[in-house]
Amino acid sequence: MGEYGEKRTEAISISWKPDRQSKIPLYSQIVSYFSEKISSGDWVSGQVLPSQRKLSELFEVNRSTIVEAMDELASLGMIESGFGGGTRIANDSWSLLMQDKAPDWQSYIKASGFRANVPTVQIINHLEFEEGITRMSTGELSPDLMQLDLTRKVLSSLSSRDLFMNYPDPLGMPGLRAALQAHLREIGIDAPLSCILIVSGALQALQLISMGIVQAKSTVYVESPSYLGSLNIFQSVGAKLQGVPLDASGILPWMIREPQSNGCHSLLYTIPTFQNPTGCVMPVSRRKEVLKYCKENHMPVIEDDVFRDLWLDEMPPPPIKALDQSGSVVYIGSLSKCFSPGLRLGWLVGPESVVQRLADVKMQMDYGVSVLTQQVVEELFRSGLYYTGVNTIRQQLRERRDLMMRLLEKYFGDLAEWNRPAGGFFIWVRLKNRVLSEQLFNRALKEGLLILPGSVYDMGYSSSLRLTYGYLSAEEMELGMRRLSEILRDMNRK
């Protein structure tokens, strides 16, 4: 029983009547009326209600209707019996009502058009930050490969210099773009500053492309399997992904059957250098063929080149962008894979009209990339520390790759097939015996091993998985690979 305030315990007055023509039941209308009077503050806690007989007269309804309404209001906690019999507005009725009145957030979430990440990816995104998880497939270099000393050196140098802390230019800071222009020239891309856009990594570049130049119902052709298979950004704007077969030299563009079938614009998305997840490198001849095919079909090429600097055996061929004089290629680079994912800094190079459009979209999305990060990255390139860093990373990554090759031979020789990557840090493992990698994912997760099943890329790759040699220490790699092979053997037996 509540404690009643003393100010207003007088009976309440009512001049309202339920609507007999309405489809809403009479008792329900009465409950709504009471709720409204309470939530609006017209009726306050402690006030005494008229008797049920009186209410039935006032509302011109049967006594049973009143009983039903009062039961409902009591069960909602809005009225309660007073000391001297009678019924009163309950003490916390207002706050109860108010709490119930929060928006139905779930319905807001469901009604919006943006697709959620696929559940497996959402799980992975969260588990990667949990203790005790062995990340066997993760898409980033290990913290001990981050060149912290170099970054500290840059921070120290910036700490005694003039800094820019205002909104950046829509295309990104001119100094950084000039430094990247020089970097791009080294790999054969000659781009004016007005064709270089600074972005928060390759993912944002793809997001800007999907929002800025992709039409609903467009088709985005991708290598099958492809990184894009794990992302919903193009589908969220209503475009569809269409897988195109790969051979050892990369995507086979002439396997695209109807490049402009539905009258909509289409695009080709490719990772020609150390493809994610297969590690495949496209030779120059195939790069030329891809470019020729796309030009003939007036189809833009989105070239994702984020792994380039992690070559382990020999420098890869020049980017497709370097072969293109026609403006058909939009090129994407980033520091995330080769130097530091946390910097969240990448670049996009394309025709000026496209770069202007994507810069305008970016200005509407986040007003540009952190200028602090931009100044750090400019200094990394200008000082040459970036190149020192990737060189060190490459040396260590080579050892890790070779260890991983030995572990695969040792534990997976009879269980799977794989490639020997010439760069990047992924290995694409095809399981024998039709084992479903999604099942392996679940079994392995129970023991704290986190792998990426091929189904995340494309449902056609349900017996494949991506592994990395870029993240785990030698001991963890050995332990993880042994345990994974045991789980797999166990699954094969059943």
Strand, helix or coil for residue 114: coil
Among 193, 372, 459, 474, binds a second copy (CB under 8 A): 372
Among 48, 90, 187, 214, binds a second copy (CB under 8 A): 214
Closest CB 170 distance from a second copy, rounded Å: 6
Closest CB 232 distance from a second copy, rounded Å: 6
Copy the structure tokens of residue 87: 């019924």
Residues 236-275 that bind a second copy (CB under 8 A): 236-238, 264-265
Strand, helix or coil for residue 115: coil
CB nearer to a second copy: give 91 or 464.
91
Closest CB 268 distance from a second copy, rounded Å: 10
CB nearer to a second copy: give 81 or 391.
391
DSSP letter string over 13-65?
-------TTSSS-HHHHHHHHHHHHHHTTSS-TTPBPPPHHHHHHHHT--HHH
CB nearer to a second copy: give 90 or 171.
171
Closest CB 422 distance from a second copy, rounded Å: 25
What mask of x and - would describe binding to a second copy in positions 275 to 314, judged by CB under 8 A? Answer: -----------------x--xx-xxx--------------
For residue 225, whether the previous peptide bond is cis, meaning omega lies within 30 degrees of 0, is yes
Question: Is residue 132 a contact residue for a second copy (CB under 8 A)?
Answer: no
Closest CB 302 distance from a second copy, rounded Å: 11
| Percentage helix, strand, coil for the chain under 3-state DSSP, each rounded to 5 | 45, 15, 40
CA torsion sign for 179, 183, 185, 191 is: negative
Strand, helix or coil for residue 1: coil
User: Which residues does 263 contact at the CB level (< 8 Å), separation at least 6?
Assistant: none
Residue 155 phi, psi dihedral angles, 5° rounding: -60, -40
Among 23, 101, 434, 446, binds a second copy (CB under 8 A): 101
Closest CB 451 distance from a second copy, rounded Å: 18
Question: Is residue 116 a contact residue for a second copy (CB under 8 A)?
Answer: yes
Contact indicator for 378, 179 with CB cutoff of 8 Å? yes
Question: Is residue 229 a contact residue for a second copy (CB under 8 A)?
Answer: no
Closest CB 368 distance from a second copy, rounded Å: 6
Closest CB 294 distance from a second copy, rounded Å: 8
CB nearer to a second copy: give 322 or 435.
322
Residue in 460, 457, 462 with CA at minimum distance from that of residue 228: 457
Closest CB 151 distance from a second copy, rounded Å: 6
Closest CB 66 distance from a second copy, rounded Å: 25
Residues 310-369 that bind a second copy (CB under 8 A): 325-328, 336, 340-345, 351, 353-354, 357, 360-361, 363-369
CB nearer to a second copy: give 65 or 400.
400
Q: With contacts defined by CB under 8 A, how many residues of the chain interact with a second copy?
A: 102
Question: Is residue 216 a contact residue for a second copy (CB under 8 A)?
Answer: yes
Closest CB 236 distance from a second copy, rounded Å: 8
Contact indicator for 55, 49 with CB cutoff of 8 Å? yes
Question: How far is 376 from 432, CA to CA, in rounded Å?
Answer: 47
Residues 376-435 that bind a second copy (CB under 8 A): 376
Beta bridge pairs of residue 332? 304, 348
Residues 435-474 that bind a second copy (CB under 8 A): none
Among 15, 21, 75, 107, binds a second copy (CB under 8 A): 107
Residues 133-192 that bind a second copy (CB under 8 A): 140-141, 143, 146, 148, 151-153, 155-156, 158-160, 162-170
Residue in 80, 95, 94, 90 with CA at minimum distance from that of residue 5: 90
CB nearer to a second copy: give 262 or 439.
262
The conformation of residue 423, written as its DSSP 8-state character, comes to B
Assign 3-class secondary structure to 120-171: HHHHHHHHCCCCCCEECCCCCCCHHHCCHHHHHHHHHHHCCCCCCCCCCCCC
CB nearer to a second copy: give 206 or 415.
206
CB nearer to a second copy: give 201 or 243.
201
CB nearer to a second copy: give 152 or 410.
152
Closest CB 352 distance from a second copy, rounded Å: 9
Q: Nearest 5 degrees, angle CA 168-CA 174-CA 178?
A: 145
Residue in 76, 83, 85, 22 with CA at minimum distance from that of residue 53: 85
Residues 20-79 that bind a second copy (CB under 8 A): 39-40
Rg (CA), the chain: 32
Among 213, 312, 431, 487, binds a second copy (CB under 8 A): 213
Residue 229 phi, psi dihedral angles, 5° rounding: -60, -25
Question: How far is 156 from 158, CA to CA, in rounded Å?
Answer: 5
